[in-house]
Amino acid sequence: MYNNILMFLKVLTLYIGTVIGAGFASGQEVLQFFINYGTKGIWGVVVVTVCFSYLGMIIMYMATKFKSGSYQEILPFLMGPTSRIMDVLSLIMLVGGLGIMLAGSGAVINQYLGLPNYAGILAAAAVTIIVILGGVERVLAANLILVPIKLLVVCVIAIMAIANQTALIPAPVVPVTKPLVASHWLWASILYVSYNMVVPLAALSSVGRIVTPKIGILAGLTGGAVLGLTTGLITMAGLSYYPEITNYPVPMLYLAETIAPVLKTVFALLIWVAILTTAIADAHGFASRIAPGGGKLYKLVGTGICVAVLPLTKLDFAQLVQKLYPMFGYAGLILLAALLVIPVLRFSLKK
């Protein structure tokens, strides 16, 4: 029983950790994909919660059914001959995501500690490499420790921000000067789920050989519900401080400073932890695709990609979130459609 609970928590935190990265923890993602749409953004959160729960469940069902060690063992089932194209896109998105996370680490260290950007970049790269060198078990263990910390802090700040306001959710008007990631709240929600599925697919499919179907499916469902609840809390907190919150590059830090200035340092650490878990997931997803069997090749590839993406870290973190994430969303639409439809059709026809 203890081992089952521990494995459930490992898979659960692995799923949550792949989605709650620096963009999410900073509030920048939630601001652009939900808060900027006013109260309609709450409906977007509902859509996202249902999608995350279903997709987490279906990915873990396929991973455990096929005993997969990487997403390459699942993509052909989902997409047939076109899986090669999605494979290449996924690899590009994993590499790009890793570069973005390392760049974010440099920005956080520079802004809050006054150290050079490269200090934060190298620190995050070093920690990621250390975790990768420990294999899949160390990746799961790292998420088991780091994810609950950042999840707790984000939820506490959001709840305190909501409680601090007399009007829970005002009726905001979207500023015309603020460009939206999509023309409609529903489309923005779909894009949000779309770009957030590549890394979870890569990470979750790598543990299909060590997780039972029951534990995997339950962890996928629960992870989606937790992600939806957290997104909803941040959205409601942001709407409570709308439109002032739109003027800050790190919206959650603005909320933390507003309700308790002492939380600024704590939240800076939280963002860095969020960066680490996503960077680890990106590197792990890439390495497990190239070397699904693990071992020395997995460690070599994981270490190599952390070093290879260092030139990308010269790009601006905030602009990358605003411009590249929606692009990743469009690139992942085919994968999202396949995850939503193909498993149901194939398993139904087989039965």
pLDDT at 177 over 60: no
Comparison of pLDDT for 64 and 326, the residue scoring more: 64
Closest alpha carbon to 290 in 58, 72, 19: 72
CA angle, 173 as apex, 30 and 268 as ends, to 5°?
A: 30
Q: Does the model's pTM come out above 0.85?
A: no
pLDDT digits (tens, 9 = 90+) for 4-28: 898 999 899 889 988 887 678 778 8
Comparison of pLDDT for 62 and 265, the residue scoring more: 62
The rounded distance, in Å, linking the Cα atoms of 44 and 303 is 38
pLDDT digits (tens, 9 = 90+) for 123-135: 999 999 999 998 8
Mean pLDDT, residues 329-347 taken together: 80
The rounded distance, in Å, linking the Cα atoms of 138 and 128 is 11
The pLDDT, as a whole number, for residue 176 is 45
Mean pLDDT, residues 80-97 taken together: 82
What DSSP string describes 35-75?
A: GGGTTHHHHHHHHHHHHHHHHHHHHHHHHHHHT-SSGGGTH
Portion of the chain with pLDDT greater than 70, in percent: 91
Mean pLDDT, residues 323-351 taken together: 76
The domain locations on the chain are 8-170+177-338
Whole-number average pLDDT of the chain: 83
Mean pLDDT, residues 93-118 taken together: 82
Comparison of pLDDT for 173 and 215, the residue scoring more: 215
Residue 260, SS3 per DSSP = coil
Q: How far is CA 35 from the centre of its chain?
A: 18
Q: Running DSSP on this structure, what letter comes out for residue 312?
A: G
The pLDDT, as a whole number, for residue 169 is 52
pLDDT at 175 over 60: no
Question: How far apart, in Å, are the Cα atoms of 61 and each of 220, 221, 274?
Answer: 9, 11, 27
The pLDDT, as a whole number, for residue 271 is 77
pLDDT at 165 over 80: no
Q: By the 8 A CB rule, do 34 and 182 touch? A: no
Mean pLDDT, residues 203-217 taken together: 89
The rounded distance, in Å, linking the Cα atoms of 337 and 146 is 31
The pLDDT, as a whole number, for residue 206 is 83
pLDDT digits (tens, 9 = 90+) for 269-287: 877 887 788 888 889 889 9
Mean pLDDT, residues 186-209 taken together: 86
Portion of the chain with pLDDT greater than 90, in percent: 24
The pLDDT, as a whole number, for residue 292 is 76
Mean pLDDT, residues 235-253 taken together: 83
pLDDT digits (tens, 9 = 90+) for 31-48: 889 998 888 999 999 999
Q: Which CATH architecture has domain 8-170+177-338?
A: Orthogonal Bundle (1.10)
Radius of gyration of the chain (CA): 19
